[in-house]
């Protein structure tokens, strides 16, 4: 298995509300979303045969992201809680917690998502 870069991808969801005071349309009013978040970890396969253990990644994401965001009001955390800025905040939290993430995708709606790639 030497030489391969392997990625794992886990999907999570949380419910949160927000409003965008600058928005000229519906998003100006208080509303909520069922966000879907995908977290990718990439690297070599270790001596256990994994890039990262699913359960370990799940526990880190639960503690550092989902516990903070599920059923929250995003305006309490960000002045302008757009999908882009929310994804960046989540990326910061994952990095601060030493989660080995390489890509984060945050779906705000069924057709709209933001992709964040961790800087090298």
The residues carrying an active-site annotation are 27, 71, 108
Nearest to 90 by CA among 16, 5, 7, 29: 16
* Exposure letters 42-57 (e unless 16+ CB within 10 A, then b): beeeeeeeebbeeeeb
Nearest to 72 by CA among 109, 104, 42, 34: 34
CA atoms lying within 13 Å on the CB side of residue 75: 12
Helix or strand or coil: residue 45? coil
């Amino acid at each position: 298995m030497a030489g391969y870069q392997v990625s794992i991808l886990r999907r999570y969801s949380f419910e949160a509300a927000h409003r965008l005071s600058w928005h000229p349309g519906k998003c100006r009013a208080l509303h909520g979303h069922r966000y879907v978040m995908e977290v990718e970890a990439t690297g070599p396969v270790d001596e256990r045969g994994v890039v990262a253990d699913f359960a370990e990644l799940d526990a880190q994401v639960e503690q550092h992201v989902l516990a903070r965001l599920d059923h929250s009001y995003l305006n309490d955390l960000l002045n302008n809680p757009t999908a882009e800025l929310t994804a960046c905040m989540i990326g910061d939290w994952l990095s601060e917690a030493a989660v080995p993430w390489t890509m984060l995708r945050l779906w705000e709606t069924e057709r709209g998502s933001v992709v964040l790639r961790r800087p090298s």
